[in-house]
Structure 1
């Protein structure tokens, strides 16, 4: 068979953009905002294949074109209490936002009381209990393709552990009763994605506790808030410390860190931020949208928060009857020269209708 005949029998794949080399076209297409990727994938089969490829995400990362996408976990009401997973789809047309939570495949083996950590384009769901037994299992969601895979097991089973990412490694603290040699020795562990292994983090007897109600990472330190005081692990100096009284007393419920400031809700339902360097709490002064002078509701029991690319996102349940609404608001937070915290509500929207009794379990943002 001649070369020309062989070439004719296998026609080359069409170019991404006619008259442009494919490598140039990839660099151009990778710069398109993520909100337009769905429309972009409809242009042609070759572009559709590109947008759903590892190459596309790698180029976006190299070009620093990634955008943070919110992922939210919802627990349905009822005996089973099944977990539902969603990603936030945002579309911006004529300076107006359309925000909608879109369902993604559920975790193959759901558990209760898991810890969550974001590392690269992956969300790690760590431990939890299955049939009332703490689990050592880890599930990993590859957010590029919304596909699940099992991760390496921890050394011990955990429920309601603290977790955080520092210097490219995942740290888990507590969530197990330190009543055996294995649980005591492995009360804290660290996962290195390069080796794919969990290793023990040496811990002092006096810092070990069981239930962790919140955690955060600030400047390389993992803060784990327990039901009887909190502890801090300095990952760089490998030193354990106690949480200061101001932070311990003021940290209520779920929190997140944006630009080195830890945000949560106080007992009056207002957002406040903690400056770790100064050791003081400051109230976040909100400015609402022009069409929404009310700002945000008062969350006396708190709400779920996430750092979405340097912006503070708040998610909450609202309404009564047969359905409730899942709502989100994105806040641009700044700190002036006097240390005062200001927040401007960029958008606030109802993003999902859910069955009555459903509740938000967790939300986090992933760069894609």
Structure 2
């Protein structure tokens, strides 16, 4: 009986000694062959695993072995919970990952840099914050990084040469309208002042990086950019012709958008640049016509309290009866490995479904772009249906 009782104890010692005796390079080679989604669980097994999972050497090894993986993360706010919840898209489902209880409930800007997702600024109880949070996608853990110098909400954000550039999202001041974060030094620096002192809208609804320049589109659909290599500000294309297009993203050197009519459209990237007599000439992505009705009825997108309040004042002043939610696109579009990923919501009786589709793109002779739906299905059901869910970000 005594031998039987001692066997598990001895086994645990053997297991512990094997882990400690395994050289790091061999352990990293083994871990590199495991799906990255398993790393969060492995990091809980021991301190040594936790160290290996978060080591730069592991991700260099994965890259050399061709084991890199691309995943879509989406942040949702679903009633009755008002706190943002994060999910990862895997095998045509969205699976919950740890969320940060201190994340602002709306109007944050989100960028990806290396192995992390940065959640920048936002509104807390209606007031902008300078807080910046980092989601470590290797272990799905959160930490706070140095705050910005200025409180911001609904700002433009983009990554150029390993640094994060943030534009706007605050009351206009040419001295602090933009700043840059260097993750190596963990410091924020103010960008050069804007030469144009004309008042700018503090609300930014979209941003995109092209040719090492961060472009921003403000609440009145005016475009502007900052070039880090030149240290200069510039003016983009004429805003009045851009219209109600949301969720700008670059895919294969083309710019894609959504319209409120449920249409996915595209344009050439050089159309972002200023032209005196020409506007942006957008074209429809062919082959997606049957999605239009469903996408046009979606209200998943989140506009933020700021822009809603601005619209309410505007429509009273100018006698516009429409609701903002009926004038702007309601789905969410993002880029995943060169494909479009769409999120939208569908009301089915007494419950609400959140749908997702992945669309590959084909540019054909004659300049047309066609979309092919690789897959499409409901990834979440909200039951009972209390109110519209909101997609705060998709990245």
Q: Is it true that 1:53 corresponds to 2:58 in the alignment?
A: no
Give the distance between the partners of 1:298 and 1:243, measured in 2 at CA.
Answer: 32
How far did 1:155 drift?
Answer: 0.4
Change (3 A) 1:124 1:302: same
TM-score by length of 2: 0.74
Per the alignment, residue 187 of structure 1 pairs with 177
Give the distance between the partners of 1:147 and 1:25, measured in 2 at CA.
Answer: 22
Higher relative contact order (CA 8 A, sep 6+): 1
Give the distance between the partners of 1:186 and 1:260, measured in 2 at CA.
Answer: 31
CA contact (8 A) 1:134 1:159 kept: yes
How far did 1:309 drift?
Answer: 1.2
SS at match of 2:63: helix
Change (3 A) 1:251 1:233: farther
- Between structures 1 and 2, the one with greater helix share: 2
Aligned pairs (5 A) from 1:152-171: 152-171=146-165
Per the alignment, residue 338 of structure 1 pairs with 366
Q: Is it true that 1:13 corresponds to 2:27 in the alignment?
A: no
Give the distance between the partners of 1:132 and 1:321, measured in 2 at CA.
Answer: 33
SS at match of 2:345: strand
Q: Is it true that 1:198 corresponds to 2:199 in the alignment?
A: no
How far did 1:24 drift?
Answer: 6.0
Give the count of matched residue pairs: 329
Per the alignment, residue 258 of structure 1 pairs with 251
CA displacement, residues 150-191 of structure 1 (integer Å, 9 cap, x when unaligned): 01110010111111112211111111113xxxx542111111
TM-score by length of 1: 0.79
Q: Is it true that 1:81 corresponds to 2:77 in the alignment?
A: no
SS at match of 1:57: helix
How far did 1:59 drift?
Answer: 1.9
Give the distance between the partners of 2:184 and 2:202, measured in 1 at CA.
Answer: 29
Change (3 A) 1:64 1:195: farther
Per the alignment, residue 237 of structure 2 pairs with 244
Question: Pick from 63, 66, 69: which aligns with 1:67?
Answer: 69
Q: Is it true that 1:316 corresponds to 2:344 in the alignment?
A: yes
Give the distance between the partners of 2:244 and 2:61, measured in 1 at CA.
Answer: 39
Q: Is it true that 1:130 corresponds to 2:124 in the alignment?
A: yes
Per the alignment, residue 305 of structure 1 pairs with 333
Give the distance between the partners of 2:146 and 2:19, measured in 1 at CA.
Answer: 41
Give the distance between the partners of 1:83 and 1:310, measured in 2 at CA.
Answer: 27
CA contact (8 A) 1:215 1:223 kept: yes
Give the distance between the partners of 1:331 and 1:52, measured in 2 at CA.
Answer: 35
Aligned pairs (5 A) from 1:81-230: 81-90=82-91, 99-111=92-104, 112-178=106-172, 183-202=173-192, 203-204=194-195, 205-206=197-198, 208-228=200-220, 229-230=222-223
CA contact (8 A) 2:103 2:133 kept: no
Change (3 A) 1:362 1:247: farther
How far did 1:284 drift?
Answer: 0.8
CA contact (8 A) 2:333 2:394 kept: yes
SS at match of 2:371: strand
CA contact (8 A) 1:89 1:101 kept: yes
Per the alignment, residue 389 of structure 2 pairs with 358
How far did 1:322 drift?
Answer: 4.1
Change (3 A) 1:327 1:247: farther
Give the distance between the partners of 2:255 and 2:51, measured in 1 at CA.
Answer: 35
CA contact (8 A) 1:264 1:302 kept: no
Greater displacement, 255-264 / 22-31: 22-31
Change (3 A) 1:286 1:223: same
